[in-house]
Chain A
Amino acid sequence: MANVIKLRKGLDVNLKGQAAKEVFDVESPGVFALMPDDFTGTKPKVVVKEGDAVKVGDALFVDKVRPEVKFVSPVSGKVTLVERGDRRKVLTVRVAADAQQQYVDFGKKNLEQMTAQDVKDTLLETGLFGFFKQRPYDVVPDPSVSPKAIFVSAFNSMPLAADFEYVLKGREADFQTGLDALAKMAKTYLGVSAKQAAPALTAAKNVTVNVFDGPAPAGNVGVQINHINPVNKGETVWTLGAEEVIFVGHLFNTGKLDFTRLVAFAGSEVKQPAYCRMTVGQQLSTLVKGRVSEGRTLRVISGNVMTGVKTTADGFLGAHATEVNVIPEGDDVHEMFGWIMPRFSDYSSSRAYCSWLFGKKAYALDARVKGGERHMIMSGEYDRVFPMDIFPEQLVKAIITGDIDRMEALGIYEVAPEDFALCEFVDSSKLEVQRIVREGLDMLRKEMA
């Protein structure tokens, strides 16, 4: 029986538009894009020119500092645009897909005969290494540093998230091969939810399975690391999304890359929330058009409503995104006397509102911040939804004041911005906590380099 870890702190927000367990198909769109911003902590150097033909698995850009870390095209076709923003920052590299997809053949691998180095080299060569993240800093790892462990969380506990158990159906073999590959490189931990029963998860081989029982953010890999094997100064662990373990497994089983994944299309403004097979970098317009409500401004989010990036219907599916959430923007809403009205349609975890009366009612929340930014006033707000042995308030304050030593002492090595998503949600002072934590991590990384 796997080790069960019970978590008491946290918050489950029930949002309208949970994806039904059905799959629908969308027509394959013409243009795909890989966004360097999805791979935090890398400086992209584009290695293709507009007009070049690429196959699935050909590098589009590499990391300037560590050129062995490649980021490869998710589709085969012709490079149409290298989009640059301010100071020539690369925003997207776009590829117009061929009708017939062509794959770079990396050759079937026999994992049993491979060493840790072989596995890592394969991942680097095929560009899958770029999907890994490391703690500290929550960035693409440095391949020259061996991690003490690799962590995979098999569930996302955030509202409207994709159910990995459902996504996994039919891909169990690839998932297991992926885990086997990870286990070759370092001790691998798989975190599963107490609600998950699929034997591919609970009885996964070659990995240590831990069961987490509790509200969000129990599915955050950072929370799991903190409870199983916390990161100390000078140590490195790697993390990989569960869906991306399937990518790895597919590569080792077939020798080819397959960047399609089952994405949860969810949110209160989606007409029929369900799952959809999409490819990394796919344009969202084909998914969104005609499938969302009309008549008001909508916010399309690549990724989860709590951690994802605001984009538009013309945007692209992020490299790590397992959901596309659509909610009302809400900038046309004018609520009067919000400070005293009961506001039944708004959710709050505070009993200064009536949400506690309605139990499991699902809410259709919009993107309004619903208050002005203040200094941190209330105490214990973050702590309530932060199930780690860290003082979140004090850590955030240390980051705001730029106190590197204190950040270190308070455990910034163990956290990622996503771990603070619920803190930011409940914050009555409306601080942009995830942005602050990201800045703190960047500050520290610069200092340590």
Chain B
Amino acid sequence: MNALRKYLDKIKPSFEEGGKLHAFRSVFEGFESFLFVPNATSKSGVNVHDAIDSKRIMIFVVIALMPALLFGMYNIGYQNYTAAGVDGTFWEMFGFGLLAVLPKIIVSYIVGLGIEFIVAQWKHEEIQEGYLVTGMLVPMIVPVDCPLWIIAIACAFAVIFAKEIFGGTGMNIFNVALITRAFLFFAYPTAMSGDACWVAKESICGLGNDLPDAFTMATPLGEVATGTVPAFSWDQVWGFIPGSIGETSVVAIAIGAVILLWTGIASWRTMLSVFVGGALLAWIFNQWGPEGNAGAMVPWYQHLALGGFCFGAVFMATDPVTSARTVPGQFVYGFLIGAMAIIIRVLNPGYPEGMMLAILLMNLFAPLIDYCVIQNNIDKRAKRAIKK
């Protein structure tokens, strides 16, 4: 450790202003602060600081994503082996999924972090950690057969146009990972929806099975869109169903939710109210929904288990930057996300899944919700002044 520190101190000057490698200053700084906690001391204000920083927070979100990611890998193998009718061992299935997902993670990080490094260098700022989470979310919300080049384009688009032009992490209006998904969804609909993309069809490095090109398998929500109500099964809770890589297992996502709530990184208010909003709307549709609408007939609890509802509620809606920041605002914001997601699912035949659009829509309205809450405080203060 000491030797490493000495080496860093030795090469540091060449990255500073006027040094030979100055063009890589942001990269060096990124790696240095990754290895060692920065030891700059406070110049003004408080003389001691809490140990928490945005690196720690982002890493904990990534940790919270791990159960869903690992399960997603296993499920990819499980779906492939089941579709082929072949018995595979746990490690064969998991290994196949790992090989299918790893390139997506790598592409997402290389493209996104590459842009981050360049922008940080250009703006003379430190590298912001926000992409650690975004880069992990992106592979988890795409279908397994989504081509890598499409992911690369989508990541570049989202990082540049949803984040950097607004000023970087903390300034963006929309959730960057969801913009990636929305871009994919509208630009390459065949790779993102329909019945053909949810099960991996080619074997990788000898693992997995080749399936015929014409093989299709609908997600439960895909079935709903075609007018059949899928029967509820516990597989939908455990996650042994086709779907985007990280979204299928309610249980794995729940483990992540516990981590996020326990550490206080995600707002329980937002998370809870998404579920309340979704459950309430789905229940209302159950009771008084339009005749013959399959979406309205899916029981409310099943609505919450299917598709990206849980994943969105736990990992996307709670993004502190794009969600409502005031306490009462978070309840309203979460409730409307849940409600809107179910409305889109049930009433819009074009989109079997509503979570993505619901969250993006509410991202747009979050400042308005906060505005109302804050204006209330402002009015109270103004009234107090007049009364005196």
CA distance A162 to B117 in the complex (A): 47
Residues of A within 8 A of B233 (CB): none
With A333-B39, A352-B265, A379-B267 as contacts: A374 and B54 at CB distance below 8 Å: yes
Number of interface residues of B (CB under 8 A): 60
Please report the C-alpha to C-alpha distance between residue A337 and residue B374 in the assembled complex, in whole angstroms.
39
- Are B42 and A367 within 8 A (Cβ)? yes
Q: Which residue from A306, A333, A337, A427 sits with its C-beta under 8 Å from B47?
A: A306
The distance in angstroms between the C-alpha atoms of A327 and B48, with both chains bound, is: 9
Write out the residue numbers on chain B whose beta carbons fall within 8 Å of the beta carbon of A378: 54, 57, 265, 320
- Residues on A with C-beta less than 8 A from B48 are 13, 15, 305-306, 327, 365-367, 425
Q: Would you call B187 an interface residue if the criterion is a C-beta within 8 Å of the partner chain's C-beta atoms?
A: no
B325 to chain A: which residues have CB within 8 Å? 379-380, 393-394
CA distance A404 to B129 in the complex (A): 32
Residue in contact with B41 in the complex, picked from A331, A376, A434, CB distance below 8 Å: A331
**A392-404 interface code vs B (CB 8 A; 1 in, 0 out):** 0110000000000
Question: Is A327's CB under 8 angstroms from B327's CB?
Answer: no
Stretch at the interface among B13-21, B29-37, B291-299: B29-37
Choose the segment among A21-29, A77-85, A232-240, A271-279 that binds chain B (4+ C-beta atoms closer than 8 Å): A232-240
Q: Are B323 and A340 in contact (CB under 8 A)?
A: no
B388 touches A349 (CB 8 A): no
Assembled-state Cα–Cα distance A232/B386 (Å): 9
Q: Which of B49-92 contact A (CB under 8 A)?
A: 49-57, 59-60
The answer to whether B45 touches A428 (Cβ under 8 A) is no
Do A371 and B170 touch across chains, with their CB atoms under 8 A apart? no
Chain B residues contacting A374 (CB-CB under 8 Å) are 54, 126, 128-129, 169-170
Q: Does A377 contact B (CB under 8 A)?
A: yes
Contact of A349 among B35, B50, B265, B378 (CB under 8 A): B50
Q: Provide the bound-state CA to CA distance between A325 and B47, in Å.
A: 10
Is A2 part of the binding interface, using a Cβ–Cβ cutoff of 8 Å?
Answer: no
Decide if B326 is an interface residue (CB 8 Å cutoff). yes
Once the chains bind, are B45 and A339 in contact (CB under 8 Å)?
Answer: no
Complex Cα spacing A432 to B49, Å: 11
Partner of A368, one of B41, B130, B327, B388: B41
Instruction: Decide if A390 is an interface residue (CB 8 Å cutoff).
Output: yes
CB contacts (< 8 Å) of B126 on chain A: these are 372-374
Interface residues of A in 124-165 (CB under 8 A from B): none
- Give the residues in chain A near B53, CB-CB below 8 Å: 338-339, 370-372, 428, 430
* CB atoms of A370 and B49 under 8 A apart: yes
Residues of B within 8 A of A425 (CB): 46, 48-50
Contact with B along A340-352 (1 / 0, CB 8 A): 1001001111111
Which chain A positions have C-beta within 8 A of B44? 432, 434-435
User: Of the candidates B51, B60, B168, which one forms a contact with A370 in the assembled complex, judged by CB atoms under 8 Å apart?
Assistant: B51
| Other-chain residue from B35, B38, B51, B57 in contact with A343 (beta carbon distance below 8 A) | B51
Q: How far is the CA of A390 from the CA of B377 in the complex (A)?
A: 7
Per DSSP, chain A at the interface is loop
Are B169 and A339 interface neighbours, CB within 8 A?
no
Interface centre among B46, B263, B264 (most CB of A within 10 A): B46
Which A residue sits closest to B388, measured CB to CB? A232
Contact A338 B264, beta carbon cutoff 8 Å: no
Whole-angstrom distance between the alpha carbons of A194 and B22 in the complex? 57
Interface centre among A336, A365, A421, A428 (most CB of B within 10 A): A428
Q: When chains A and B are docked, how far (Å) is the Cα of A348 from the Cα of B37?
A: 15
Interface status of B381 (Cβ within 8 A of chain A)? yes
State A426–B49 Cα separation when bound (angstroms). Answer: 7
B36 touches A338 (CB 8 A): yes
Q: A409 at interface (Cβ–Cβ under 8 A)?
A: yes
Residues of A within 8 A of B33 (CB): 372
Whole-angstrom distance between the alpha carbons of A394 and B1 in the complex?
42
> Who on chain B is nearest to A232 by CB?
B385
Given contacts A325-B47, A379-B267, whether A428 and B52 have CB atoms under 8 Å apart is yes
Closest A-chain residue to B8, C-beta based? A334
Per the bound structure, the CA–CA distance linking A353 and B169 in Å amounts to: 23
A335 within 8 A of B: yes
* Contact of A353 with B385 at beta-carbon distance under 8 Å, contacts A369-B41, A417-B45 already known: no
CB distance from B374 to the nearest CB of A (A): 6
Instruction: Give the nearest-CB partner of B387 in chain A.
Output: A232
Given A352-B265, A368-B37, A391-B326: A376 and B51 interface contact (C-beta under 8 Å): no
- Our pick among B35, B47, B59, B378 for the contact of A327 (Cβ within 8 Å) is B47
Is A383 in contact with chain B by the CB < 8 A criterion?
A: yes
Q: Which among B41, B129, B264, B382 has the highest number of chain A CB atoms within 10 Å? A: B41
Contact B46 A307 (CB under 8 A): yes
Choose among B50, B167, B388 the residue with the greatest number of A CB atoms under 10 Å from its CB. Answer: B50
Tell me which residues across on chain B come within 8 A of A41, comparing CB atoms: none
* CB of A433 closer than 8 Å to a CB of B: yes
Inter-chain contacts of A348 with B (CB < 8 A) = 50-52
Q: Which residues of B contact A (CB under 8 A)?
A: 1, 5, 33-57, 59-60, 126, 128-130, 167-171, 262-265, 267, 320-321, 323-327, 370, 374, 377-378, 380-382, 384-385, 388
Query: A residues within 8 Å of B by Cβ?
Result: 13, 15, 230, 232-235, 299, 301, 305-308, 310, 325, 327, 329-340, 343, 346-353, 365-380, 383, 389-391, 393-394, 409-411, 417, 421, 424-430, 432-435
Q: List 7 A-B contacts (CB under 8 A).
A: A235-B385, A301-B47, A305-B47, A339-B59, A351-B263, A369-B40, A394-B370
